[in-house]
Structure 1
Amino acid sequence: MIPEIGHFSLIVATALSFLLAIYPLIGAKINHPGMINSAKPLAIMQLLLMSLSFVILAYAFATDDFSVGYVATNSNSLLPIQYKISAVWGGHEGSLLLWSLTLAIWTAAVAIFSRGIPKIALARVLAVMGMIAIGFNLFILLTSNPFDRTLPYLPLDGNDLNPLLQDVGLIFHPPMLYMGYVGFSVAFSFAIAALMAGRLDSAWARWSRPWTLIAWVFLTSGIALGSWWAYYELGWGGWWFWDPVENSSFMPWLAGTALIHSLAVSEKRGVFKSWTVLLSISAFSLSLLGTFLVRSGVLVSVHAFASDPARGLFILAFLIAVVGGSLLLYAVKGSEIKSRGKYSLFSRETFLLMNNVLLIAALLVVLIGTLLPLVHKELGMGSISIGVPFFNNIFFYIMIPFAIALGIAPLLRWKKQEADLRPLFIQLAVSAVASIVLAVALPAIFADKIKIVAVVGFALAFWVIITSSIEVYIRATHRHSFASGVTKLGRSHWAMVLGHVGLAMMLIGISATQNYKIEKDIRMVPGDEVIFADYLFKFERIGEANGSNYEGYEAVFNISKNGKFETTMHAEKRSYFAQRSMPMTEAAIDWGVTRDLYIALGEQLEDDSWAIRIYYEPFIRFIWWGALVMSIGGLLAVSDRRYRFVNKRVAKA
């Protein structure tokens, strides 16, 4: 009976989403206060009912209710409780319910925390979010109901959660990623609501910007966490990228990164409004495209859900409706968008626009590289593969002008640069020379040889760091001493600096890992030793490593360097009781600031030796630390005082 309550709650929440999509919108049209004011309670009630539905499904997992088909497919009585709860979103149906719950959270958050926005404008925004909720809730009810029963057949036990997903990464990665994906629906809704009203001014950008920043922070953190999860869980010693499903989250991140910069310019200078609207539409549309790719069955990937084409067709129709409808509205109302500001060719606006164009170029590369093989196959032209070299080579050439412009833009003024450009050119020349020197010195210190591609990547990273440091010094000493001026810089300014420095850190990690990673496959028996990357690896012993729902082996390695003991590493090979056909590798990782040592235990061979794979990963942590620094920068931007007080002024006006 309890699962039926969850199903009924979902149905009522869907009915409320219809009311939210229609009632406040009509009220805004006829200026009816009661209908306009209904948006907030409808959004909150929708969240409460979606939460109830989700909690009931989680309860079914926690209590091993295998009469629910989704639970029987994705859980097992021996599964640890933390994985039973995270298994709620470990399959297709539950992850869609999480998506709808996340959308309800964002909708209620906008309703509660947007007090300074005029009620008629807020009603339009919430109505658009209600329309999106209708699509996803109907998708769940019509094609992917997680509450369907197995009765009259009652399985004695469940099939178990995919062993690959029995990891702490499943607990945090999908919710964070969905908060980013779905969060872009807020920017989309603000843009559509502004188009409906024919009012795209600086206030609209100011209202939308903090929500977009929060979504971008979640998506950045979610992608970084997914990269880390793939690195240590998949057992092949590399950060996962250019997989089609990974591309599905990277594309909205690129659009979202361009969007937050465009919103900043629209808010401060009143320009790029059309560009900002299109980016708002694109960021959320690409989130929907990623959902279609993952759930339609058209992709073959570790990450993809094995779903039937009918489900994919539903999402495709919804995607076409959202993209087509929003672009049609833009075509009708776009002529009313007018930018009020002007700027010269050599200004901060120009360089921000240049970087946004480069981000969209990178986005198109990923989009084409991901979709072209699918289109080629569907047209009956055979299978083609677009792999890592394609993306790496093109991104290498896009990143060069992007990083250069990223370093120059903060040093320029808004609207118009000073007539005397000599100080600027001196600053850029010093930055360039210092960047090249450091870029050559870094690999000379930790590597045997210098690779040009790596030097270029390091130089771009140091260029961004040095120019950001110069910009901070100039701003801090403009009217005060450096010590006093630094403390007076606003949070949004530090957010910009951290965002750029975080990207530079990622460039260092990617350049070092891609060009100086070392790997080796060897056969070893306990007692064997091997020298690898100046480290001595000794295979000490191997023993059993059993858990509540798996059995396996644990290999112990002692690591030393120059005769000095460094650490002990433990690598495992697991076989899960319910899915013995999927043995899993639990890699051993010893991390440091400048390198990771990584050991993956393979299969036992005929002569009782073991297949061992060892990796040396230089500076790989900088990839995730850089993403963390970028996320902190985004949070600082959201916490800026402008977004706490400006809405009050708007409300009073």
Structure 2
Amino acid sequence: MFAELGAFSVMLALVLAVLQTGFSFGGTKRQGLAGAGEGAAIGSFLATALSFGLLIHAFIVSDFSVANVANNSHTAKPLLYKIAGAWGSHEGSILLWCLALTGYGAAVAVFGKGLPHSLKSRVLGVQGALGVLFLAYTVFASSPFARLVDAPVEGASLNPLLQDPALAVHPPFLYAGYVGFSVVFSFALAGLMEGRIDAAWARWVRPWTLAAWTLLTVGITLGSFWAYYELGWGGWWFWDPVENASFMPWLAGAALLHSAMVTEKRGALGGWTVFLALLAFTFSMLGAFLVRSGVLTSVHAFAVDPRRGVLLLTIMTLAAGSGFGLFAWRAPNLAKGGVFAPISRESAMVLNNILLTAATATVLFGTLFPLISEAMGGTAGVGMPYFNITFVPLMALTALVLPFGPLLAWKRGDVLGALQRLWIAAVIAAVLAVAALALVQPRHALACIGLALGGWLILGALAELAERTRAFRAPGPEVLRRLTGLPRGAWGMTLAHMGLGVFALGATFETAWKLEAAEVLGQGRSLDFGAYHLTLDSVGGAEGPNYLAERGVMTVTRGGRVVCRGEPERRFYPTGGQTTSEVAICARGLDQIYLVLGERRADAKGEPVWLVRAYYNPWVQLIFLGPLLMALGGLMSLSDRRLRLAVGRRREVAA
């Protein structure tokens, strides 16, 4: 009965989304219909939430008469992974997508009280239309509540790779970010319909963009961290097609944040800001298609189903085609905005946008190139070398110009004045590069540039903070007063830029100076990696709630002193017949020692031996700390009262 109620709730959400669309568009001139559209938006979200809650209930009670539960759960699974199984499948993940989509529509209805009446109605109308597309797909092509005629006694269990705490919370954050760009998409279409893309419109768009970008930052970081310690290959980013699918809307969102600021402050770049708003959600929909269609192979893929992939491609074509079609029609009539000099804050942000957009294009081409090659009769693909020679230089240029933007004035800036404020940061970054170059091999010369850029970003953000507070130029009490009086948005920008620098330091150092070794060892035997000496002390059996394991005990020493003891495992899940590796990680400051126990073999004497891999990952923790600082900066900016939706409306009413 609960499964039928869940299926009915999705259908009800679809009907309410249809009503939301009709009432909202009809309510642009009639207040009563607009109120009904808002109620329908809230009702659609509540119905979807009820359906999702019932799906989770089916997983918790192990209702194997539901096909989705039978294919992705098992009675022996821990409770957390039973719950995570609700979004660990294609059908459940689509319902999670719909939950986020309708949730954002309800948020606009509840928290968008400061929006102009007609704009709010159109935003809800577009959001409702998107809800109709994805809820209809869920009801008619991807129902998570489909029943089995003969229910099995036990389920097939969730993929063991997905049974991990980080991945249990990764999809909700990722989808909250992915789908958050749907509101920005709706604002773009609503603004085009009204012919109103101005400073007030940009002010209303920025908080939604910031919220989506921040949540997506957290989601991507959790996914990267999961790949780092769960897949057992010692890396944190592989340029996998599905990784790229989440990265592209993040890059577009970052460009959108800077472009919207120019539109808000100066009324310029309105058309470009709209284009980025449409592009960000289009990339989100492209990601949904790539993950579920089977056109690209990935460890992250949910399903290989060309039929449903074609439907998702159709949805993306309808939504994105309508958006860009309206943009092509209305963009020539948009206001051109303010004029600015080649050296100004606006120009710095334009250059920032050009570089970010070019970087996004390189990722898009590299992701889709296997499809392009296959369509032309080939089988070629691209890997990490392609991204290293295309994407990395563009982001290095972005990092180089980023600190200048906040130190340049609007409309007309002084580049010499900005250089005077940044000369200390430049000198320290250059000294860092030269010192590193003097200590490393010539083949790591490019890594020294990466270290310099990381330091440049961090010190540049601090220099901008010092300029705002008049540090070293004003008395201490005045500096403290200015520091405590800074708006949260300023603190958020500083943290975000510093976070990017912290990430750059970690990624550069870990990539260039990582050590690794692999050797087949028996119990009591050793291997060396760099200055470290590893010994496989013993290997014994272990049993978990739904798996059997071989657990190795390893000791790592340096100079005769023990620096790490780890117990990596090789787990076997009898239900699905799958084997996974559970690594052991020892933190040493910012560094980590990473140990992997591989498959069992037999040596020439028939004695058991195991493939052991060991990694020394220097500064690797900065790779995950940097994005978290960026997300914290986004949250701090989002809490700034100047970004609240009602501010723009109050000013408009006052005027």
Q: Match for residue 19 of structure 1?
A: 19
- Partner residue, 1:457: 450
Contact persistence 2:541–2:548 (CA under 8 A): yes
Is the 8 Å Cα contact of residues 180 and 211 (structure 2) preserved in structure 1? yes
1:425 equivalent to 2:419? Answer: yes
- Per-residue CA deviation, residues 178-230 of structure 1 (Å, 9 max, x unaligned), is 00000000111111111111111211111111111010000011001100000
1:195-274 matched pairs, under 5 angstroms: 195-274=192-271
Residues 450 and 389 (structure 1), Cα distance of their counterparts in 2 relative to 1, 3 Å cut: closer
AA matched with 2:585: I
- Aligned residue among 67, 84, 92 for 2:65: 67
Q: Structure 1 CA distance, aligned partners of 2:78 and 2:400? A: 50
Counterpart contact for 1:553–1:574, Cα < 8 Å: yes
Shift, 1:39, TM fit: 2.1
Which of 506, 509, 513 lines up with 1:509 in the alignment? 506
Q: Deviations over 1:486-525 (max 9, x none)?
A: 2222211111111111111111111112211111111222
Q: Which residue identity is paired with 2:622?
A: F
Distance in 2 separating the partners of 1:117 and 1:425: 41
Residues 86 and 651 from structure 1, CA distance in 2 versus in 1: closer, same or farther, beyond 3 angstroms? Answer: farther
Distance in 2 between the 1:405 and 1:337 partners? 29
Q: Residues 170 and 428 of structure 1: is their aligned pair in 2 closer, same or farther, counting only changes over 3 Å?
A: closer
8 Å contact kept, 1:251–1:286: yes
Residue pair 1:117, 1:650 contacting (<8 A) in 2 also:
no
Query: Aligned residues, how many?
Result: 645
Q: 2:572 aligns with which of 571, 575, 600?
A: 575
Please state whether the residue corresponding to 2:602 is helix, strand or coil: coil
Residue 408 (1) aligns with residue 404 (2) = yes
Which of 383, 407, 428 aligns to 1:387? It is 383
Stretch of structure 1 that moved more, 343-352 or 303-312: 303-312
Contact map agreement 1:571 1:588 (CA 8 A) in 2: yes
Contact 2:516–2:614, Cα closer than 8 Å, also in 1: yes
Secondary structure of residue in 2 paired with 1:609: strand
CA contact (8 A) 2:437 2:445 kept: no
Paired residue for 2:80, among 79, 82, 86? 82
- Contact in 2 for aligned 1:116/1:651 (Cα 8 Å): no
Where structure 1 has 5 or more consecutive residues not aligned to the other structure, the ranges are none
Residue-by-residue CA offset, 1:130-153 (whole Å, 9 max, x unaligned): 0111111111112111111111x1
> Is it true that 1:437 corresponds to 2:431 in the alignment?
yes
**Contact 1:232-1:587 within 8 A present in 2 as well:** yes
The answer for the alignment partner of 1:483 in structure 2 is: 480
TM-score with structure 2 setting the length: 0.96
Is the CA contact (8 Å cut-off) linking 1:458 and 1:508 kept in structure 2?
Answer: yes
- Residue matched to 2:629: 629
* 3-state SS of 1:605 partner: strand
Residue 606 (structure 1) aligned with residue 607 (structure 2): no
Q: Is the 8 A contact 2:65 2:151 kept in 1?
A: yes
What is the percent sequence identity of the aligned residues?
Answer: 43
Question: Which segment is superposed worse, 423-432 or 38-47?
Answer: 423-432
Aligned to 1:114: 112
Amino acid at match of 1:403: A
Matched position secondary structure for 2:617: strand
SS of equivalent residue, structure 2 residue 543:
coil
Please state whether the residue corresponding to 2:388 is helix, strand or coil: helix
> How far is the alpha carbon of 1:541 from its aligned partner?
1.6
Quote the residue 2:319 is aligned against: 322
Supply the distance in 1 between the matched residues of 2:417 and 2:302 (Cα, whole angstroms). 56
**Structure 1 residues 412 and 202, CA gap change in structure 2 (3 angstroms):** same
Q: What SS is found at the alignment partner of 2:302? A: coil
Shift of 1:602: 0.2
Matches within 5 A, 1:133-152: 133-151=131-149
CA gap of 1:430–1:366, structure 2 versus 1, over 3 A, is: same
State the Cα distance separating 1:621 from its structure 2 match. Answer: 1.2
Match of 1:178 among 166, 175, 180: 175
Q: Deviations over 1:507-554 (max 9, x none)?
A: 111111221111111122222233322222222221112111110111
Distance 1:321 1:43 in 2: 21
**Residue 549 of structure 2, aligned match among 529, 540, 552:** 552
In structure 2, the residue corresponding to 1:158 is in which secondary structure? coil
- Taking only aligned residues, the RMSD between alpha carbons, in angstroms, comes to 1.7
Alpha-carbon shift at residue 473 of structure 1 (Å): 1.3
Residues 536-584 of structure 1: CA distance to partner in whole angstroms, max 9, x if unpaired?
A: 222222111211111011111122222322232110000001122x210
* Mapped pair 1:336 → 2:329: no
Contact kept? 2:583, 2:594, Cα under 8 Å: yes
Partner residue, 2:95? 97
CA spacing shift, 1:455–1:20, aligned 2, 3 Å: same
2:361 alignment partner AA: L
Aligned-partner Cα distance in 2 for 1:7–1:550: 33
Structure 2 Cα separation of the partners of residues 227 and 85 of structure 1: 21
Aligned residue for 1:553, secondary structure, equals: strand
Deviation of the 1:434 alpha carbon: 1.8
**Given that residues 245 and 293 in structure 1 are in contact (C-alpha distance below 8 angstroms), is that contact kept between their aligned partners in structure 2?**
yes
Deviation for aligned residue 1:479? 7.2
* TM, length-normalised to structure 1: 0.96
Counterpart residue type for residue 7 of structure 2: H
Report what 2:48 is aligned to: 50
What per-residue deviation string (whole Å, max 9, x for no partner) do you get for residues 65-121 of structure 1?
111111111111111111111000111001000100111111111111112112322
Q: Which amino acid aligns with 1:441?
A: A
